Structure 1
């Protein structure tokens, strides 16, 4: 385990400190952590994308496998060409939901008991898409899945059923047939926020009284390789993973951003961010670096309020 302090980008005291790698994973075994959901005791549930697994990781790095998604005879996922488990969310009772991308009818959202067990598909999504990020609105019993290939945000009841296209448009689409469009996704303060990896943008969709998507608002641009993200407080500031450059950035309400963690802090193509109190959880999948897929924990110097 290594411990480092983030170097401030502006000469002021750093926003994030005490970064440390708490768990290393096996690249050859497909243990590429794509997304993360936190439990009440400070442990984390990670999707190992290429291993088709969901793993439970304690704060001291002990790892056990909760579930494995079923194998597919001839997976043909767009861009990946293999089966992959991607986004994950957790309800208050511990139930887990994950996206599974296969290029077959098994593509969709799957439910897993909180203590592990057999995954069950609750909704199909288009096989020619790539469901990536997953967000939960537990109060309204709704899941939102970001399709990085088709440029669509899908809406699915947590009870299961037919997926409906909730938001779509140019802002959500990739720039090319080989790129990733809408990727990360979160529900925050009566809105659905998403990132677009190809376009380097962070977007906000207000949720209307009838639960439909309002007009898209661009909150930030210039975020090259943005993947998933999280809110370090109740406001509109965002901590985002920049996959290509192996950085974590703080995106402020006005759209400006500052690098707060780098590869020197243990990052290796980070894919997502989670926040519990002032602790940051940062999975790295090493998809490009091919070195050290891991889980980094770090410390926020302070929380961000309503701004």
Structure 2
């Protein structure tokens, strides 16, 4: 979740991070063939704050998206129609105290089996920052408060234990929260999660008995085992050299994953041994990709256009055998 250069609310830290990510050298491996048939399926409206930050897929083909700048949750139908489901309240101070960024934003989103959407809202204020829930046909409701001095970003759901995991990019913390709501627990504060000048832990997924997180500043993917008693095990870095990494998704082929590299406008295919290759670039239509999801072999890539300031979009592609 790296943010837009053109807005006056972005701090100097954003400028430094954007430049570093954009100028970082690409890995030696060339663009390879595991992904094909990439096309822009949906164009979003930048003027309306439709900067897609995170995505959750639903049965039937719908995709649920958070529009960070618009403070909105939206449904994108299979035919590309975008419908706004909720707009979060603007903080009394306009969100100017939101850490690092200086504006309020909706971020991570997941969908439960009953259709409820859980998502994060960061405002820099104690009354709004936290985990929110939107039930079908209902109104958004905050179910857990998170520290106003943090930046809750990635969100993952463990349906077996009905636990939400939240990663904070400023505080370097993974929080756990029951889906019913309540007081968050600091599940992990491993050093591997912390920022190094801008944003630390960012994307978050649960996979193969562990919580996996990216670290934007460090360009890494980190794995933290979930122990039998639910506590966090020791964190271990699984991949490095992923400049500007944001969100990611597992491909269904073991620990292989696809990672959105925001600043460079690339998608990397990361192998279980930590090596990676670039499989999508700006030439495919990427505009600072922020999140990835898979439905079978169909890859969904959301681009927020934070740096390019043009054409935020949804790209569909095919993951080849």
Q: TM-score, normalised by structure 2?
A: 0.88
What are the equivalent positions in structure 2 for 1:1-307 lying under 5 Å apart? Answer: 14-74=33-93, 75=95, 76-105=97-126, 106-115=128-137, 117-176=138-197, 179-302=198-321
Asked if 1 retains the 8 angstrom alpha-carbon contact of 2:204 and 2:214, the reply is: yes
1:90-140 CA-to-partner distances (Å, cap 9, x unmatched) read 00111000000000011000000134x310000000000000010000110
Asked if 2 retains the 8 angstrom alpha-carbon contact of 1:155 and 1:163, the reply is: yes
1:45-103 CA-to-partner distances (Å, cap 9, x unmatched) read 00000101011112221111111112211112111211100000000111000000000
Q: CA deviation at 1:145?
A: 0.6
Asked if 2 retains the 8 angstrom alpha-carbon contact of 1:22 and 1:59, the reply is: no
Asked if 2 retains the 8 angstrom alpha-carbon contact of 1:229 and 1:272, the reply is: yes
Distance 2:77 2:251 in 1: 21
1:216-272 CA-to-partner distances (Å, cap 9, x unmatched) read 111000000100000010510110000010100100011000101001111100001
1:8-67 CA-to-partner distances (Å, cap 9, x unmatched) read x6586x100111111111112111000000010122000000101011112221111111
Distance 1:222 1:59 in 2: 35
Asked if 1 retains the 8 angstrom alpha-carbon contact of 2:152 and 2:168, the reply is: yes
Distance 2:297 2:153 in 1: 26
Task: Flag the 1:85–1:142 CA change in 2: closer, same or farther, 3 A.
Answer: same
Q: Secondary structure at the match of 1:140?
A: coil
Superposed CA RMSD: 1.1
Distance 2:269 2:298 in 1: 15
Between 1:273-282 and 1:74-83, the stretch displaced more is 74-83
Match of 1:6 in 2: none
Between the two structures, name the one with larger relative contact order (CA 8 Å, sep ≥ 6): 2
Distance 2:130 2:293 in 1: 23
Distance 1:88 1:10 in 2: 32
Q: TM-score, normalised by structure 1?
A: 0.92
Structure 1: which 4+ aligned runs deviate by more than 2 Å? 9-12
Aligned length: 290
1:180-230 CA-to-partner distances (Å, cap 9, x unmatched) read 000000001110000000000001001000100000111000000100000
Asked if 1 retains the 8 angstrom alpha-carbon contact of 2:31 and 2:279, the reply is: no
Asked if 2 retains the 8 angstrom alpha-carbon contact of 1:99 and 1:134, the reply is: yes
Asked if 1 retains the 8 angstrom alpha-carbon contact of 2:30 and 2:278, the reply is: no
Asked if 1 retains the 8 angstrom alpha-carbon contact of 2:31 and 2:277, the reply is: no
> Which stretches in structure 2 are left out of the alignment for 5+ residues?
1-28
Distance 1:202 1:11 in 2: 21
